[in-house]
């Protein structure tokens, strides 16, 4: 019968190899596909003059986060509270933070 320590050390070895394979080998294998997509994205950004990632499409100040003004999260009147879920995940844009 296999000793428990042997079985556990084999588990650690396999887990370590899987982790090393994912961290060091997988990025190399994916690089060609990724680079092809990246070039297309960069080209589109340059051609259209885009400024933001399309991650949060629910509110205009999170869709174009870098272009937001200080008041946009509060919509159009002073008592309107910021209420979009993505508003709680993002920070105001850099140019407003440094003021």
Q: Give the residues lining the site for another protein (CB under 8 A).
A: 3-5, 8-9, 11-12, 15-16, 18-19, 22-23, 26-27, 30, 34, 36-38, 40-58, 60, 63-72, 84-86, 88-91, 93-95, 97
End-to-end CA distance of the chain: 70
The nearer residue to another protein, 42 or 80, going by C-beta atoms, is: 42
> Shortest gap between Cβ of 43 and another protein (angstroms)?
8
In terms of C-beta distances under 8 Å and separation of at least 24 residues, what long-range contacts does 79-88 make, across chains too?
84/56, 84/58, 84/59, 85/58, 86/56, 86/58, 86/59, 86/62, 87/59, 87/61, 87/62
The nearer residue to another protein, 51 or 80, going by C-beta atoms, is: 51
> Shortest gap between Cβ of 32 and another protein (angstroms)?
12
3-class secondary structure, 51: coil
> Shortest gap between Cβ of 98 and another protein (angstroms)?
8
> Shortest gap between Cβ of 61 and another protein (angstroms)?
10
74: number of CA atoms within 13 Å, CB side?
8
């Amino acid at each position: 019968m296999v000793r428990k320590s042997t079985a556990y050390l084999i588990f650690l070895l396999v887990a370590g190899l899987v982790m090393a394979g994912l961290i060091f080998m997988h990025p190399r294998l994916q690089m060609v596909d990724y680079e092809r997509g990246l070039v297309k994205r960069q080209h589109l950004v340059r051609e259209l003059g885009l400024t933001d990632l399309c991650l949060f499409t629910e509110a205009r100040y999170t869709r174009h986060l870098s272009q937001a003004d200080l008041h946009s999260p509060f919509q159009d009147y002073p008592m309107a509270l910021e209420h979009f879920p993505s508003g709680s995940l993002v920070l105001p844009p850099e140019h407003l933070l440094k003021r």
